[in-house]
Structure 1
Amino acid sequence: MKVDYIALSVPVFFILIGVELAYNFYKKLNYYRLNDSISNLSQGIGQQLTGIFMKTALFFGYKYIFEHWRIFEMPKAVWVWILLFIGVDFFYYWFHRMSHQVNALWAAHIVHHQSEEYNLTVALRQSWFQGWFSWVFYLPLAFVGFDPIMFLTLSSFNTLYQFWIHTRAIKSMGFLEYILNTPSHHRVHHGSNLKYIDKNHAGTLIIWDRIFGTFQKEEEEVYYGITKPLASWNPVWANLHYWDDLIKTARKSPKISDKINVFLKPPGWFPEHLGGFQNAPEIDEQHYQKYNPAYQSKLTGYVLIQFIIALAAGSIILFSYTKMDASSLVSGAVFTICTLTACGALLDQKPWLVKFEYIRLLLAVVLILILNFPIGYQVIFAGIQLISVIWFFNLQKENPQINEN
């Protein structure tokens, strides 16, 4: 029986985020910004929803190799669990390292690094497409003969371990810094400082970075984010923007070999006719500014309510998708992602926002009425959407700037 440990841990994630947020306010640390946190959580919700449509197929890829091509018959003994834990962590290191060194892989993984803050919500900022290739790195474990359920369990716990290290509240952890991946080590990994780029790829054990020469101790202040800032709160664009850059570069390259290399070479690589390899710039500390566009303060309540609606819808889908028919599942997932996109557009103050928001709200009412939901759910959800339409209309009247942006 497969158990989705990550989905089951979601309530714990939010409790810990609440604890860190309270600590942040108590100490006046400014580790959190509303727009950035909503963006991070939106990525996490989207990743869980898109994962529903591929996780079973990817699991069966590992399972098929185990059942037909395994070399050994591994017993379910304690020593095998320990060996598999080490194996999962080892292959995670190489998957993670390659995700920073191959453009096509970085195009997916870059999502996790876009936030210019560093707090527990960043741990939930995950790519919607990374799961399509990450599983391939673990296939040697299937060939060796490690049971699929054991693999799924330990790979889930490897992911869960990495949640708590996304914090600035914990400094050094003494001798554990030599063995485990800690908040200090992972802060380095999220840095855009030149000396920190492509360092500390560990999952649970930092020993792999020490062995393979990618370790860097936290020394100077860390500047978080990517070297070319995303400058958007739109979760869909966050997952597509680097692909857009790669495709544009490939189209400018007449040679087939250059078109292919655009996707296989490391970030910063360009064909010679486009200037060749371009190193990341050093941080300009004097002029450094985080992306933080101004938006109407009266929108805050509306954005928060819409985000909570998306969070609730996403949670319902995540915990009951096995009982949902295909049309309800797809419609629910699309509605949730569109709502998260609307939240990002509201915070970005994008010019297409107004039309998109009215279409989203009205289509949601139509969908809930034509799909086979219980009448009680239809009445409640349709009512919420109609109230949202009226609320948004009044916001427009009170804030003409919404139409002008």
Structure 2
Amino acid sequence: MKVDYIALSIPIFFILIAVELGYAFYKKLNYYRLNDSLANLSQGIGSQLVGIFLKTITFFGYLFIYESWRFFSFPNTIWTWLILFMGVDFFYYWFHRLSHQINALWAAHIVHHQSEEYNLTVALRQSWFQSGFSWVFYLPLAFVGFEPVMFLTVSAFNTLYQFWIHTRAIGDMGFLEWFLNTPSHHRVHHGSNPKYIDKNHAGTLIIWDRLFGTFQKEEEEVVYGITTPLASWNPVWANIHYWIELFTTFNRAKGIKEKLFVFTKSPGWFPEAMGGRQFPKEITINSYVKYSPDYDKRFTIYILFQFVFSLIIASVLLFTAAKLHLLQLIASVILVIMSLTAYGSLMEQKKWAVSLEYFRFLFWILCPLVFNAEVFFIQLLIGNTSLVILSFIWFKRLLRA
């Protein structure tokens, strides 16, 4: 039986985020910004919703290899679990490392590194499409003969471990720094300082970085983010912008070899005709200016209210997806993603933000009318048509104020 431990842990994630937020507020630490945090959480919501479709690919890909090609079957013992834990962590290291060193993989993984802050919401900032290929790195475990549900369980807990290390509230952890991936080690990994780039790829154990030469101790203060800032709160753009950059370079590259290198070389590689390899510039915490465009603060409560409602819908979707028809599921996911994009565009003061919000209202009302309302989630949407109307009135008043 498959158990989605990550989905079940979502309430715990938000409790811990609240604790860290309270600590930062009490200590007057600038760990959180509303716009950045909502953008991070939007990526997490989108990742979970898109994952409804991709997780099936992951499971059945591993399952097919296990059932058709395995050359051994491990017994369900504590030693098997320990060996599998080491195996999952080892292959995670190589998946993670190559995701930083190959452009086609970085195009997905870059999403996790776009935040210019470092707090527990960043842990939830995940690519929407990375799980579509990451499972391939673990196939050796299927060939060897580790049972699929055991693999999914260990893999989930490897991911869950990495949540708590996305914090600035915890300093050096003494002797644990030698073998565990800690907040200090992972802060380095999220740095755009040249000396920190492509370091500390560990999942749970930092030993792989020490063994394979990618370890870097935290020294000067970390500047968080990517070398070319995203400068957007739009969750859709965050997932596609690097792909657009790659295909732009691909179109300008000459010859098959150069065009292939666009996707297989490391980030920063360009054809000689386009200036050749570009290296990250030195940067300090004092010289770096974070992206934070002004927006009408009267929309803050409105955006927060609508975001919470989208979070509730997404949570219901995660636990009722199996009861929905495919078209109902797709339409519901589109509605949530459209909502998250609308909130981001409002915080950026985009000219098309108002039009998108109006279209979202229309889509929100039409969804339950187009599909059969016998499923609980669709009934929920129908029951909240009044909320759509109230939101519309609220939004109009804000525009007129």
Shorter-chain TM range is: over 0.9
Residues 1:309 and 2:312 aligned together = no
**1:376–1:334 distance in 2 versus 1, CA, 3 Å:** closer
- The whole-number CA distance in structure 1 between the counterparts of 2:171 and 2:387 is 44
| Letter in structure 1 aligned against 2:145 | G
Of residues 280-289 and 257-266 in structure 1, the stretch that sits farther from structure 2 once superposed is 280-289
| Letter in structure 2 aligned against 1:295 | Y
Q: Which residue of 1 aligns with 2:71?
A: 71
Show the 5 A alignment for 1:2-401: 2-283=2-283, 285-373=285-373, 377-398=380-401
Q: Provide the secondary structure at the position in 2 that maps to 1:266.
A: coil
How far did residue 224 of structure 1 move? 0.2
- The whole-number CA distance in structure 2 between the counterparts of 1:370 and 1:195 is 54
| TM-superposition CA deviations, 1:45-97 (whole Å, max 9, x none) | 00000000121122111011111101112111111110000000000000000
Q: Answer whether contact 2:40 2:122 (CA < 8 A) is retained.
A: yes
Q: Which residue of 2 aligns with 1:401?
A: none
- The whole-number CA distance in structure 2 between the counterparts of 1:275 and 1:172 is 41
- The whole-number CA distance in structure 1 between the counterparts of 2:208 and 2:286 is 36
| Letter in structure 2 aligned against 1:368 | P
| Letter in structure 2 aligned against 1:386 | I
**1:378–1:279 distance in 2 versus 1, CA, 3 Å:** closer
How far did residue 378 of structure 1 move? 4.5
- The whole-number CA distance in structure 2 between the counterparts of 1:286 and 1:389 is 42
- The whole-number CA distance in structure 2 between the counterparts of 1:329 and 1:73 is 37
Q: Provide the secondary structure at the position in 2 that maps to 1:54.
A: helix
How far did residue 352 of structure 1 move? 1.0
- The whole-number CA distance in structure 1 between the counterparts of 2:381 and 2:156 is 36
How far did residue 256 of structure 1 move? 1.6
Q: Answer whether contact 2:221 2:285 (CA < 8 A) is retained.
A: no
Q: Answer whether contact 1:368 1:382 (CA < 8 A) is retained.
A: no
Q: Answer whether contact 2:85 2:154 (CA < 8 A) is retained.
A: yes
Unaligned runs of 5+ residues in structure 2 are none
- The whole-number CA distance in structure 2 between the counterparts of 1:78 and 1:285 is 46
Q: What is the identity percentage for the equivalent residue pairs of Structure 1 and Structure 2?
A: 64
How far did residue 234 of structure 1 move? 0.2
**Count of residue pairs the alignment pairs up:** 398
- The whole-number CA distance in structure 1 between the counterparts of 2:102 and 2:265 is 5
Q: Provide the secondary structure at the position in 2 that maps to 1:305.
A: helix
- The whole-number CA distance in structure 2 between the counterparts of 1:148 and 1:362 is 43
How far did residue 116 of structure 1 move? 0.3
- The whole-number CA distance in structure 1 between the counterparts of 2:381 and 2:285 is 53
How far did residue 377 of structure 1 move? 2.8
How far did residue 376 of structure 1 move? 6.0
How far did residue 221 of structure 1 move? 0.3
- The whole-number CA distance in structure 2 between the counterparts of 1:238 and 1:83 is 37
Q: Answer whether contact 2:222 2:285 (CA < 8 A) is retained.
A: no
Q: Provide the secondary structure at the position in 1 that maps to 2:9.
A: helix
Q: Answer whether contact 1:365 1:381 (CA < 8 A) is retained.
A: no
| Letter in structure 2 aligned against 1:332 | S
| Letter in structure 2 aligned against 1:158 | N
- The whole-number CA distance in structure 1 between the counterparts of 2:294 and 2:59 is 44
- The whole-number CA distance in structure 1 between the counterparts of 2:398 and 2:334 is 25
TM-score scaled by length of structure 1? 0.96
Q: Answer whether contact 2:65 2:143 (CA < 8 A) is retained.
A: yes
How far did residue 285 of structure 1 move? 4.7
Q: Which residue of 2 aligns with 1:403?
A: none
RMSD: 1.1
How far did residue 286 of structure 1 move? 4.8
Which consecutive aligned stretches of 4+ in structure 1 deviate over 2 angstroms post-superposition? Answer: 284-287, 368-380
